[in-house]
Chains A and B, each alone.
Chain A
């Protein structure tokens, strides 16, 4: 089954304690992204990756790191979490399809990780 998986689904931690949220996709997608969802703000992109070893900042990258050592995995790292990083996090992966009808793409989302930093 094609899917994006995230772990853990729920995490409560304390300020300053480093954590990693894992993301894995089995669709051989080149592109992967991390978003955070906050009430009234929708989803905002944190980082994205176009391929292995190619990453770039999204709209809200401060306080986060990512790595892309393998095509299927795209972990999100919080070196020193703070309470303002309490949020719902989504990983997504996507592809581009060519063809006569023009390019189209869509993002497939993981189930989300609810992070609370106290």
Chain B
């Protein structure tokens, strides 16, 4: 069975500081990996995804993530945080069964202070 672990339910950074949100996954098959962002009172928006190919994935709003198979990790980073980045972030893993099933982590709330 697949699973996702997000370390830290809350992460606080100052505006302009590096953002690092951690995600580790468990999968018995080559995984598809996703990061979603949820702004207050809104649905989930896809930030970026890894399916095949290049292990460094660039997403929207300056975010990127690197797939490291040896570490079973898919950490999300952004060089310089902006106040508008304050939101909840979810890592998710999918497989290639064709059923689109995603398993989500428990989420990390990013707080950005001036």
Contacts and interface: CB of A to CB of B under 8 A. Distances in A.
Interface stretch (B62-70, B74-82, B103-111): B103-111
A103 B107 contact: no
A76 to B, nearest CB: 15
B101 A110 contact: no
Interface residues of B, number: 28
Nearest to A31: B100
A90 B51 contact: no
B4 to A, nearest CB: 8
Most buried by B among A31, A58, A105: A105
A116 interface: no
Minimum-distance CB pairs A-B, first 3: A104-B51, A42-B104, A109-B44
Most buried by A among B36, B44, B100: B100
B9 interface: yes
A92 B36 CA distance: 13
Nearest to A40: B106
